[in-house]
A and B are shown apart, each in its own frame.
Chain A
Amino acid sequence: MVSMEDFGSFETAWCPGCGNHSILKCVKEALVQMELEPHQCIFVSGIGQAAKSPHYLRTNVYNGLHGRALPAATGIKLANPQAVVIAQSGDGCNYGEGGNHFLAALRRNINVTLLAHDNQIYGLTKGQASPTTARGQKTKAQPAGNPSEAFNPVGVAVAMQAGMVARGFAGMQDHLTEMIVKAVQHPGFSLVDILQPCVSFNKVNTFAWYKERCYIPEDHDPQNWEQAMALSRQWDEGIPLGVIYQSHKPTFEESLPHPTGEPLFNNRPSIQKLNEVMSSFA
């Protein structure tokens, strides 16, 4: 049996009251629920406070470059389709620096789960607007108000008919745990955009602000794309949580011309095949 203790306990570098603490707890809880052992999982992250999360888990960790968690996770999954690969990073990492990789991951539908800690601000660099900061919101770097429209990751992912698109909230832990379990179990790319208050730098999107707005829609059918599109555009009047959209289509790795399902590590070329290839150049 896998237990919470198997995933270790670490001293973190996060502020007291930060949403990351509860997300970490939910991640551990989800892994335990799925009976995944630490060595079966590979957590991949970029740079930022959220990106430190894998360091606070006893598991395999690939903590790479800012914005590059998804390409690294893609390479890892392609090299070992048997591993459970979870990318975990913030809104700056995934939607800003790594925006192109986010779009490509949606297109590829590789069986990787993305847990995006979305606090709508840059925390590690102390309070600049992030891609998901609301237009007009005042920050240290945008004192006259953020001049750009907020990126809507859920809307974009639904528009792309991504594998699974969900939204969770750090303040609703049981629900978030359930979303993480569903995402990891979904065969294909899955996004859980996790609303996460930044207690130090985002004075607008606080726990209270989210609590007032977050709700779980009743009778939503995640297979209904039109409904999902409509939900993905709701925000100020109420923020829908849960699985917004889900589709079942072949995964990227299954769609390769030669899906082996085996780790590439075990794959060594045969001398006979090499000779055949070489002689074809005669």
Chain B
Amino acid sequence: MRRELNILIGGEAGQGLVTVGELLTRALIRSGYQVHVTQSYMSRIRGGHNTYAVRAGIENVHGPAQGIDILVALNSETLELHREELTPGAVALKDKNAQASDLEAVDIPFADLAGSALYENVVGLGVLSYILGLDREMPAGCIRSAFEQKKPEAVDKNLEVLDKAYAFASKSGVAGFNLDEPKGSAGLMLAGNQALALGALCAGANFCSYYPMTPSTGIPMTLNSYARDFGMVVEQAEDEIAAINMALGASYAGARSMVATSGGGFALMCEGVSLSGMTETPVVIVVGQRPGPATGLPTRTEQGDLNLVLYSGHGEFPRAVLAPADPGQCFVLARRAFDLAEKSQGPVFILTDQYLADSYRNVHLPDPEILEPVASPEVCGEVQEEYERYAFTPSGVSPRIIPAMSRCLVVLDSDEHTPDGHITEDLQVRKKMVDKRLKKGDILKQEVILPAYTGPQNPKDLLVCWGSTRGPALEAREIMGSENTAVLHFSQVWPLDAEHFRDYLQRAQRVVFVESNATAQFAQLVSSMVQPANMAYVLRYDGLPLDGQYIADNIL
């Protein structure tokens, strides 16, 4: 019996490894295991070398793991590329026709068992489920849920192939890797992008414009599948500039509006970010980071766009930047982003990355019924001759009325404007408007999410991280020794208040900044506020996600 296992499925794009991986992940989650999925793929539609890694355990599995316990090779390249990563006692499964030099691998007659290339996925699923000791009903149930709605005629054939795969595996003599009885309860199976989309739906988001870009496209795609039920408009714009301007127009007219993109697309949106700041129009902007500059590594991961997001848009105006650690936080912070955007009447960012966007976990979400309502603008039923969209108030927030819903007139302007929204070159008004806009930053500061601290009070090493690197950092803490290592994780990277982290940085003997970028962008930001005595870094920027062992091995 094992407490956890790392399974890697590898092959070419188009071979169906994602389908096998997703079905297996669902079966594991339904069985009550904790899972963590890392997807690595190349920027091509067919061919190349892609992997789908499922780590499953009876306790929390925070991040990707090194070492492969079960390798499923859909082509011979996978065997060659990953043979060095096999753990002692590992098993490799391969198609019986794939070449394997001197590596010992179990031959699976994929084609014979499947009867058709369409069902080869299910052969993989069946053999894996058998090896993991999952009851046949688990994968069978997952097949039913996957096909019953979309393609009911395929259910029986898939189940038949599943049974053949179980029968084959039981006779093949392949070692079992039965996992211990799970401790947890089955949650939902959600990747970062899906969880973020659900959080947006729960927040009442009803407008999303986007231009497709990896790794964020999954967000509008998920929203699209519920658009009809939720009366949501999801529009594929002609470009990112249009996307953000549409979202802002929709927000002005009363929609709860968002855009989703990645660094390159976001670079085009920066003019719109500034417009949101100037016109005090709420908008939620999701930036799923991938390695740049320019087109970079389109399908890999990085945390390289923190500075772009922090400083995007010309001129000065407040903003909030949220950075979820995992799919569960993607859901919660998506809701929060809409609330903050409305309260501060401006742009709020959610920074994710490819690793998080595509990483499935078992997630327990809060009941939508008990969630606090998201802030909302006003609709004025009466004529307000004096209504001023940019009225000066002590908080800097002016009452926001929606145009064309009442007799009030709402005037919005990208130029510097008077309280009633009209162009002005009165420099006294200009100064008051700048002060008003910046004052709204106080609201964001009051609502800032505090960094989360895990570990002893006076650690030898404090690992400081943000966004999706929390899991790997927590694992590194276990590897480095939990009695003398601590983790400080930021789910919100702007605004920051040094009072929230000064003590932690000063109590540790050494502060190690862990980031998926080459220039330690967050370390620069934090250390400009509190300078720790002794700083070190773990910076990964080869396009792959950090993991606990990598962090422990690479402290500079």
Question: What are the interface flags for B406-422 relative to A under an 8 Å C-beta threshold, 1 for contact and 0 otherwise?
Answer: 11111111110000011
Q: Which one of A58, A83, A258, A268 lies within 8 Å of B204 (CB-CB)?
A: A268
Question: What are the interface flags for B261-305 relative to A under an 8 Å C-beta threshold, 1 for contact and 0 otherwise?
Answer: 000000000011001000100000000000000000000000000
Instruction: State the Cβ distance, A124 to closest chain B Cβ, in Å.
Output: 12
Query: Does chain A have a CB within 8 A of B488?
Result: no
**B409 neighbours in A (Cβ, 8 Å):** 38-39, 58-61
Q: How many residues of A contact B (CB 8 A)?
A: 55
The closest CB in chain A to the CB of B423 belongs to A55
Instruction: State the Cβ distance, A49 to closest chain B Cβ, in Å.
Output: 12
Q: Which one of B279, B368, B402, B406 lies within 8 Å of A64 (CB-CB)?
A: B279
Query: Does chain B have a CB within 8 A of A47?
Result: yes
Is the pair A79, B255 in contact by a Cβ cutoff of 8 Å?
Answer: yes
A47 to B250, CA, bound (A): 19
With contact pairs A104-B242, A277-B201 given, residues A75 and B209 touching in the complex (Cβ less than 8 Å): yes
The closest CB in chain B to the CB of A73 belongs to B249
Is the pair B202, A274 in contact by a Cβ cutoff of 8 Å?
Answer: yes
Is the pair B257, A75 in contact by a Cβ cutoff of 8 Å?
Answer: yes
Interface residue SS majority, chain B:
mixed
**B204 neighbours in A (Cβ, 8 Å):** 267-269
**B251 neighbours in A (Cβ, 8 Å):** 75, 79
**A63 neighbours in B (Cβ, 8 Å):** 411-415, 423
A281 to B411, CA, bound (A): 43
**B372 neighbours in A (Cβ, 8 Å):** none
A278 to B233, CA, bound (A): 20
Question: What are the interface flags for A34-54 relative to B under an 8 Å C-beta threshold, 1 for contact and 0 otherwise?
Answer: 000111111010010000100
Is the pair A282, B245 in contact by a Cβ cutoff of 8 Å?
Answer: no
A44 to B411, CA, bound (A): 10
A250 to B405, CA, bound (A): 25
Query: Does chain A have a CB within 8 A of B369?
Result: yes
With contact pairs A267-B206, A269-B230 given, residues A75 and B412 touching in the complex (Cβ less than 8 Å): no
Is the pair A68, B241 in contact by a Cβ cutoff of 8 Å?
Answer: yes
Is the pair B239, A264 in contact by a Cβ cutoff of 8 Å?
Answer: no
With contact pairs A55-B423, A76-B253, A78-B246 given, residues A278 and B198 touching in the complex (Cβ less than 8 Å): yes
A79 to B403, CA, bound (A): 11
Instruction: State the Cβ distance, A76 to closest chain B Cβ, in Å.
Output: 4
Is the pair B248, A64 in contact by a Cβ cutoff of 8 Å?
Answer: yes
Interface size class for chain B?
A: 35 or more
Is the pair B421, A61 in contact by a Cβ cutoff of 8 Å?
Answer: yes
Query: Does chain A have a CB within 8 A of B186?
Result: yes
Is the pair A62, B230 in contact by a Cβ cutoff of 8 Å?
Answer: no
A58 to B406, CA, bound (A): 14
**A77 neighbours in B (Cβ, 8 Å):** 253
A68 to B244, CA, bound (A): 10
Instruction: State the Cβ distance, A257 to closest chain B Cβ, in Å.
Output: 5
Query: Does chain A have a CB within 8 A of B325?
Result: no
Most A C-beta atoms less than 10 A away, residue of B226, B279, B403: B403
Is the pair A80, B405 in contact by a Cβ cutoff of 8 Å?
Answer: yes
CB under 8 Å from chain B, chain A span 61-92: 61-65, 68, 71-80, 82-83
Is the pair B245, A64 in contact by a Cβ cutoff of 8 Å?
Answer: yes
Is the pair B405, A75 in contact by a Cβ cutoff of 8 Å?
Answer: no
A282 to B206, CA, bound (A): 24
A39 to B381, CA, bound (A): 12
Is the pair B253, A71 in contact by a Cβ cutoff of 8 Å?
Answer: no
Which stretch in B67-75, B128-136, B187-195, B443-451 binds the other chain?
B187-195
With contact pairs A72-B245, A82-B404, A269-B202 given, residues A47 and B414 touching in the complex (Cβ less than 8 Å): yes
CB under 8 Å from chain A, chain B span 184-230: 186, 188-190, 194, 198, 201-202, 204, 206-207, 209, 226-230
**B105 neighbours in A (Cβ, 8 Å):** none
Query: Does chain A have a CB within 8 A of B173?
Result: no
A44 to B403, CA, bound (A): 12
**A47 neighbours in B (Cβ, 8 Å):** 414
Is the pair B207, A264 in contact by a Cβ cutoff of 8 Å?
Answer: yes
Query: Does chain A have a CB within 8 A of B365?
Result: yes
Instruction: State the Cβ distance, B308 to closest chain A Cβ, in Å.
Output: 19
Is the pair B279, A80 in contact by a Cβ cutoff of 8 Å?
Answer: no
The closest CB in chain A to the CB of B363 belongs to A281
A274 to B275, CA, bound (A): 32
Query: Does chain A have a CB within 8 A of B254?
Result: yes
**B190 neighbours in A (Cβ, 8 Å):** 281
Is the pair A83, B226 in contact by a Cβ cutoff of 8 Å?
Answer: no
Q: Which one of A55, A101, A265 lies within 8 Å of B402 (CB-CB)?
A: A265
**B209 neighbours in A (Cβ, 8 Å):** 75
Query: Does chain A have a CB within 8 A of B79?
Result: no
Query: Does chain B have a CB within 8 A of A150?
Result: no
**A44 neighbours in B (Cβ, 8 Å):** 249
A80 to B379, CA, bound (A): 13
A270 to B272, CA, bound (A): 31
**B404 neighbours in A (Cβ, 8 Å):** 39-42, 60, 80, 82-83, 263
Most B C-beta atoms less than 10 A away, residue of A77, A263, A274: A274
Most A C-beta atoms less than 10 A away, residue of B206, B251, B408: B206
A76 to B404, CA, bound (A): 10
Query: Does chain A have a CB within 8 A of B238?
Result: yes
**A73 neighbours in B (Cβ, 8 Å):** 249
Is the pair B207, A100 in contact by a Cβ cutoff of 8 Å?
Answer: no
Is the pair A269, B201 in contact by a Cβ cutoff of 8 Å?
Answer: yes
**B30 neighbours in A (Cβ, 8 Å):** 282
**B255 neighbours in A (Cβ, 8 Å):** 75, 78-79, 264-265
The closest CB in chain B to the CB of A105 belongs to B238
21 contacting pairs across A/B (C-beta < 8 A): A39-B404, A39-B407, A39-B408, A40-B404, A61-B410, A64-B249, A64-B412, A68-B242, A75-B248, A75-B251, A79-B249, A80-B405, A83-B253, A100-B238, A100-B241, A104-B238, A263-B254, A265-B402, A275-B367, A275-B368, A278-B368
Given known contacts A38-B409, A269-B230, what 14 new A-B pairs fall within 8 Å (CB)?
Answer: A39-B407, A39-B408, A52-B423, A60-B409, A61-B411, A72-B246, A72-B252, A75-B257, A76-B253, A79-B255, A100-B238, A257-B228, A278-B368, A281-B188
List 8 A-B pairs, minimum CB-CB distance, nearest first.
Answer: A75-B249, A265-B254, A72-B249, A75-B246, A79-B253, A75-B250, A83-B404, A104-B238
